[in-house]
Amino acid sequence: MSRIQLEIAANSLASALAAQDGGADRIELCENLGEGGCTPSQASIAMARERLRIPLYVLIRPRAGDFLYDALERELMRRDIEHCVRLGCDGVVIGALDADGDVDRATCAELIAAAGGVGITFHRAIDAAREPARALEDAIALGCERVLTSGGASAAPDGAAAIAALAQRAGTRIAVMAGAGIEAGNVASLLAATGVTQVHASAKATQRSRMRYRNAALAGLEPDWIASERERVAALRRALDA
């Protein structure tokens, strides 16, 4: 059996380096994981490209919320992609829908053209699509190399049947990567249920601030944060390799 690929959604440079040390095969660099992920800073991308030895993909998403983008947001995404290409990133992670929940093929094609031949992952916009099977076909027609999906559920284990159906439909035309809510304790059963050969996880945990003084009244400015942990990535890697 070939090695199952493990992609880690890293919400910082520190998370990306921890994921690499833990045995990740690929990084999806992002920020703002609590709202589904957004495009990271230019410095974060540049430093990750300098320091990572494994493939680096960058999430291209200008804000949280839906995947219906206006002209200003499309330009932001295009420029971010051009920056990633200049830095030598291995790929970008994109997705856009129209107001009716279908893939916005014109916007996606524009972004893919800006990518200039680097790898393309179609992200979980597929889970927000009206017809995921049709969205899969659109991703294939656009030339994407993989789609990331939870099967339309909040967590991939809950959407396993839908993921399996997409993987069967995709065949060898495109890779289907399962993501959301995956950890060492459930990944083996997910693989068995879906037949996928790529998984996506954040392997994150709360990092406790070393601040001795804390102002408890600052809601939204709490000093603790989340990050990928080497040990959690390593546990996932062991579970995948078992």
Q: Name which CATH class applies to 5-210+221-241.
A: alpha beta
pLDDT, tens digit, 9 for 90 and up, residues 58-100: 999 999 999 999 999 999 999 999 999 999 999 999 999 999 9
Distance (Å, whole) CA 180 – CA 88: 27
Distance (Å, whole) CA 219 – CA 239: 37
pLDDT at 177 over 90: yes
CB count in 10 Å sphere of residue 172: 5
**How high is the mean pLDDT of the chain?**
96
Distance (Å, whole) CA 139 – CA 176: 11
CB count in 10 Å sphere of residue 242: 8
pLDDT at 2 over 90: no
